Structure 1
Amino acid sequence: MALQLDGIHHVALICADYARSRHFYVQVLGLAVLAEHHRAERDSWKLDLGLPDGGQLELFSFPSPPPRPSRPEAQGLRHLAFRVAALEPGIAHLAEHGIACEPIRTDPYTGRRFTFFADPDGLPLELYEIA
């Protein structure tokens, strides 16, 4: 019998500066705070953030996490893509917050437009247009 996966429940991210990353994901990207816990025994924060489609991001802090080895082609998570109805409003919003986006490209396989930007720790994030 095959395993049936129904979708992604959450993606977990580790940040270098919890307050800076919390501001970015909540204030700049507008994700809803579902729960927030300080784990004193680990000197760590865990922030559960909700996406409009029901998916979640978990944002963790740990003392002195190692940096990402290279960008964007390191082994492991390559990037996190957010589905948007239109790119231009998202790009304009990010620019208002001093966040640069790469030039818009078109996926040669789907014909969909996309752009990349980075979170405060340099994690590659993508806006992928589904019009």
Structure 2
Amino acid sequence: MKQKKKNDIAALLDYAGSRRGLTFLGLGLSAVSMVLSMAPYICIWLAARDLIAAAPDWTAAREVTRYGWLAFAFAVAGIALYFLGLMCTHLAAFRTAANIRKQGVAHVMNAPLGWFDANASG
């Protein structure tokens, strides 16, 4: 009976070991960050809408400063979540690379001694 081959993502997640969850957490944080990074544009549009509605009398547009602060808060929150997501995925990637290197060296060390002479290139 043939053994079913794992796909590439599953194989990489196996190498990640205990840090597998950080990969998914980083992906989720990055997705939320991208949604938050669109919110400042909506706030700017709302501020412009209020300013256009109160065109000659600018003092009637009272919500403009609130929209400005909301845009700033969404931008800062988006950057912070993106940084956290980036750190999570990097921690998982460094563990994955280390485990691949360890398993590769262990595999080479288990090869028969004559294998290197017969398969040397150069």
TM-score > 0.5 by shorter chain:
no
Q: TM-score, normalised by structure 2?
A: 0.19
Relative to its length, the structure with more helix (as a share) is 2
Larger radius of gyration: 2
Q: Which has the higher strand share?
A: 1
